[in-house]
Amino acid sequence: MFENTMIQNELLTYFESRGFNVDRNNGAAVIKSFSKPEDEIFSLYNGVGLRHIHNASIIELRGNDSADFLHRITTNGLKDFSKEQIRKTIFTTEKGRFIDVVTVLNFESHLILVGDLSNKVKVMSWINRYVISDDVKQNDANHRFNILEFSGPQADSFMTWVCGSQISDIPIDSFKVMNIEGILFFLAKMKDERGSKKFWVLTDTTHTIRLLNYVLDNTGPFDFNLIGEEAYNSFRIEQGIPVAPNEINDLFNPHELNLSGLIDTKKGCYIGQEVLARLETYDKVQKKLNGLTFESEIQLSQETELVDEENQNAGIITSFVNSIKLKKQIGLAVVKRNYLNENSLLYVVNGDKKIKAKVTELPFKK
C-alpha cells in the first residue's frame, strides 16, 4: 500500500542473513525478538537498545508556507522553527480527537513528518483538505528513509563511541548530517518519555545496512541489544507510552493521553483548539490514561469491558501485555475520572469471566 514495502523487505532480508527469525504480526513481517526478551528489556532500562521503527509514516512537505501551515492546523507552535530543529505536534479533529502525533524535522528546503503508518492516509487526506491557497505540496517519503532508534541510559555514550565527540555539538531536538566511515545519515537527538537522550538515524537502505553492520561490529563495552517487537511492546506499556492505533486514535484527545505538553496554549487557533482549551480551562477532562494490573491473565476482544463493582462502565482498555520486567500481566486503559486513584478496584468482564484490575499510576513500578 505504501512505498516502504521494498525497504522493509530489504531490511528483513538483511536481518535474516544475520540469523534472526522473521515473524508475522497481524499480517506484517516483524522481528519479535533478536535475543532473549529479558536481555533486550535490560538494555532498554540499563544500557542501549537499537530498534528499527518499521511502522513509521514518513511524509515530506515542500513549499514556502509549510511550517506556517502546520502552525495553523496542529497543536504545537512552529512559527520560530529553524533549520535542523525538531518539534512534535498533533493533528486533531474539530472535536479535538487524535488524527496522529508527528515529529517534524526542518530540512529548510522541506519538512519531514514522522508519524505512525496506520494513520498515514488520514494525515495526508487531512493536509489535502486544508491546503487551499498555501504554497504546500506533500509527498509520500517512506521510500527515502529508514529510521533507527537508539535509546536507553547508555545511548548518549554509545553514540559518542560510534560517531565521536561531535555528538555533544548537537543540541536537544535538532539533527545534523553525519559521515562515519563513508556512511552518510542524518542523526537526530531528542529526549524520550523519561527525559533521557535518545537518537534517531534517518538514512536510505544502502547506508542503513552499512551502518547496522558497523554498529553490530563495534558495540564496545556497552549493554547493547537489538530490540524486537516483544520487548519494546512490554517496555512501552510499562512506561505508559501511548501509540497508534491502540491509544492514539479518534476516541481520545491529548489531555486524556497525558500529551498536553504538545499543545502550545499561547499560539492561538488550530483545528480542535476551542474544544481542547475549554476542557483544560474548565477542568472538564473526564478520563485519563492509566495503568492496570490484572489479577490473572486476560484476552481482549471487542466485547471486553472495564467496569466497577456495580458493573458500571469505568473506561476503555487499550493495551495489555505479560510484562517482561514486572513478571505479571499489565495494561493501559483510559479510565474515568472518579476511578483515578490507586485504591480503585475495577473488573475486566469478557463473557462469563470477571477479573480484578487495579488502577496503577504510570510508569509502572514494582
Whether residue 47 is predicted with pLDDT greater than 50 in this model: the reply is: yes
Q: What is the pLDDT of residues 9-28, one digit of tens each?
A: 788 889 989 999 888 666 67
pLDDT at 2: 40
Q: How far apart, in Å, are the Cα atoms of 334 and each of 11, 351, 363?
A: 35, 21, 14
Whether residue 153 is predicted with pLDDT greater than 60 in this model: the reply is: yes
pLDDT at 6: 45
- Kindly tell me the burial class for residue 53, based on how many C-beta atoms sit within 10 Å of its own C-beta (0-12, 13-18, 19 or more): middle
Higher pLDDT, 276 or 281: 276
Whether residue 100 is predicted with pLDDT greater than 60 in this model: the reply is: yes
Higher pLDDT, 327 or 298: 327
Averaged pLDDT, 239-245: 97
Whether residue 4 is predicted with pLDDT greater than 50 in this model: the reply is: no
Q: pTM of this prediction? A: 0.95
Average pLDDT over the chain, rounded to whole? 93
Q: How far apart are CA 316 and CA 245, in angstroms?
A: 14
- Kindly tell me the burial class for residue 107, based on how many C-beta atoms sit within 10 Å of its own C-beta (0-12, 13-18, 19 or more): middle
Averaged pLDDT, 197-215: 96
pLDDT band at 7 (very low <50, low <70, confident <90, very high): low
The packing angle between helices 5-17 and 205-216, to 10°, is 30
